Copies of this chain bind each other. A is one copy, B any other.
């Protein structure tokens, strides 16, 4: 009989997560009840936000996972059984599901939606540029940052899942785009292939503020922030008056949610009359169709390039997630679930 492989939380990470914080488990493949369906999971979206769900405190928008509980993440999967009139076998869906071969979903499942899959788009893109990463960047720049032609946009985690797509969106909208990133390889890719006008390698300087000011001498109209901490602190003194800080993520603190990194320069919020706004994608659900159509069109036309860091095999999920949280990965990190039980 086919089994349902699962990845569970073995122990809470202390700082950077390690693969040993996770364990593999097995269960029977579940049977959908009334209104439910069985999903064959295909692509796990590896996201820094998951790190916060592993800690036992109240800092997050989700309650902490219990030890032994399955890890969750945004996921693309295929409906293989359905008792829900809204979904048919074969539908491709997006939802917050568990790291396992098969999950049960229902109308109560968080962010469950049938995906309008385009035949010429790789399915994995729906957890990346056509999923939360790309849509968040597009909507953050347009709706939260009120981006306009000629703006200088600074992007932290510039070659991350959100950053490398959002940078290209900003460039296509007529902005000057400056990236903050952490390796020579990322810097090369950013400048040569992903449309950045300038980059700052924060690991390469003792004077981050000076390096940012050199890259954008007139300051930034928009800081699209995926990092927080010292990067945000530096940018606070590099903003133009009336600049907007789009707070998408603060990965600098995700490995230490009990002791987040300090930020000192908030007086600049007053002195420069800045706006800082945090957001999560569901609050902008009505803007998703426009964002999806725009990004899909640009990918099709070759105007947006997608960089995936993809690995295959459910058992690889813990190691891949730990890689992501180390800051070493480039582009969108995706786990493709291997189909060992597909014949079952």
Q: Tell me the A residues contacting B by CB distance below 8 Å.
A: 52, 59-61, 228, 232, 237, 242, 247-250, 253, 257, 259-280, 283
Contact = CB atoms under 8 A, between A and B. Distances in A.
A230 B70 CA distance: 37
Contact of A263 (B59, B60, B266, B270): B266
Nearest to A251: B267
A232 B262 contact: no
17 contacts: A59-B267, A228-B267, A248-B270, A250-B269, A250-B270, A260-B265, A260-B267, A261-B264, A263-B264, A269-B276, A269-B278, A270-B279, A270-B280, A274-B278, A275-B275, A275-B277, A276-B276
Contacts of A59: 237, 267-268, 271
A177 B271 CA distance: 26
A270 B48 CA distance: 13
A280 B242 CA distance: 10
A78 B265 CA distance: 39
Contact of A266 (B248, B260, B273, B283): B260
Contacts of A272: 61, 278
Contacts of A61: 271-272
A263 B273 CA distance: 18
Contacts of A275: 275-278
Chain multiplicity (copies)? 2
Contacts of A259: 264
Contacts of A260: 264-267
Contacts of A60: 271
Contacts of A277: 269, 274-276
A274 to B, nearest CB: 5
Nearest to A259: B264
A268 B257 CA distance: 11
Nearest to A248: B270
A228 B267 CA distance: 8
Contacts of A261: 264
Contact of A247 (B247, B248, B270, B279): B270
A163 to B, nearest CB: 15
Nearest to A229: B266
A250 B267 contact: yes
Contacts of A269: 247, 250, 276-278
A144 to B, nearest CB: 9
Nearest to A262: B262
Nearest to A280: B273
A279 B243 CA distance: 11
A279 B273 contact: yes
Contacts of A247: 266, 269-270
Q: A52, A248, A262: which has the most chain B beta carbons within 10 Å? A: A262
A269 to B, nearest CB: 4
B257 A267 contact: yes
